[in-house]
Amino acid sequence: MQNVTQTPAVKTAIAQLIARLADNKYYLGRYFAEWCSGAPTLESAVASAAMAQDELGHARALYPLLRSLQPEAGAENEPETRTVFSNVSYLDQSFAAWEDFIAANVLIDGALTTVFAAALASSYEPLAGRARKVLQEERTHAMHGDGWVRRLAREGGAVHAAIERALQRDWDETLCWFGQDDDETLASAGVLDAPPSELRARFLAAVAPTIEAAHLAIPIRHAGDGWELTAPLPWDRWDAIRYRLNAADKQGK
Amino acid sequence: MAKKTTQATPKAAENEQQSATAQKPHILPDRVWLVLARRAYEEPLRQVGTVEADDIELARVYARSIYDEFAWVEMALVPRETLVTVIEA
| Amino acid (one-letter) located at B5 | T
- Give the torsion sign (CA, A196, A201, A202, A206): positive
In a domain, B73, yes or no: yes
Map residue B51 onto helix, strand or coil: strand
In a domain, B80, yes or no: yes
Cα separation, A243 vs A222, whole angstroms: 27
Residue ranges making up the domain that contains B82: 29-89
Contact present, B33 and B66 (Cβ < 8 Å): no
Q: In the predicted model, what is the mean pLDDT of residues B25-31?
A: 54
| Amino acid (one-letter) located at A248 | A
- What pLDDT is stored for residue A4 in this prediction? 53
The CATH code of the domain that includes B84 is 3.10.20.520
- What pLDDT is stored for residue B12 in this prediction? 52
Number of alpha carbons in the 13 Å side-chain half-sphere of residue A117: 16
**Domains in chain A, please, with CATH?**
8-78+91-249 (1.20.1260.10)
Element (H, E) at A247: none
Name which of A32, A35, A36, A41 to mutate to probe chain B: the one with the most chain B Cβ atoms within 10 A of its Cβ: A41
Q: In the predicted model, what is the mean pLDDT of residues A129-145?
A: 95
Q: In the predicted model, what is the mean pLDDT of residues A230-244?
A: 94
Give the residue from A76, A68, A60, A75 showing the smallest Cα distance to A6.
Answer: A68
Count CB neighbours of B29 within 10 A: 7
pLDDT tens sequence across A189-200: 999 999 999 999
In a domain, B65, yes or no: yes
Cα separation, A92 vs A61, whole angstroms: 22
In a domain, B87, yes or no: yes
Q: Which residues in chain A are contacts of B27 at CB distance < 8 A?
A: 40-41, 151, 155
Q: Which residues in chain B are contacts of A41 at CB distance < 8 A?
A: 27, 30, 52
Q: In the predicted model, what is the mean pLDDT of residues A140-165?
A: 96
Q: In the predicted model, what is the mean pLDDT of residues A58-85?
A: 92
In chain B, pLDDT over 70 holds for what percent of residues? 66
- From B26, B52, B64, residue closest to A140, measured CB to CB: B64
Contact present, B50 and B34 (Cβ < 8 Å): yes
Q: Where are the alpha helices (DSSP H) in chain A?
A: 8-34, 42-62, 65-69, 98-106, 108-117, 125-155, 157-176, 185-188, 196-213
Name which of A43, A160, A210 to mutate to probe chain B: the one with the most chain B Cβ atoms within 10 A of its Cβ: A43
Domain count, chain B: 1
- What pLDDT is stored for residue B54 in this prediction? 80
- What pLDDT is stored for residue A6 in this prediction? 74
B66 and A147 within 8 Å at the Cβ level: the answer is: no
Q: Where are the alpha helices (DSSP H) in A63-156?
A: 65-69, 98-106, 108-117, 125-155
- What pLDDT is stored for residue A252 in this prediction? 45
How many angstroms away from the CA of A193 is the closest CA of chain B?
29
In a domain, B9, yes or no: no
- What pLDDT is stored for residue B31 in this prediction? 87
pLDDT tens sequence across A43-68: 999 999 999 999 999 999 999 999 99
Q: In this complex, is the C-beta atom of A154 within 8 Å of any C-beta atom belonging to chain B? A: yes
Residue A156 has pLDDT above 70, yes or no: yes
- What pLDDT is stored for residue B4 in this prediction? 45
In a domain, B13, yes or no: no
In a domain, B6, yes or no: no
pTM score, whole prediction? 0.85
- What pLDDT is stored for residue A248 in this prediction? 57
| Confidence bin at B21 (pLDDT 50/70/90) | very low
Which residues are bridge partners to B37 per DSSP?
B46, B75
Residue A20 has pLDDT above 80, yes or no: yes
Residue A169 has pLDDT above 80, yes or no: yes
Residue of higher predicted confidence among B19 and A121:
A121
Terminal-to-terminal C-alpha distance of chain B: 50
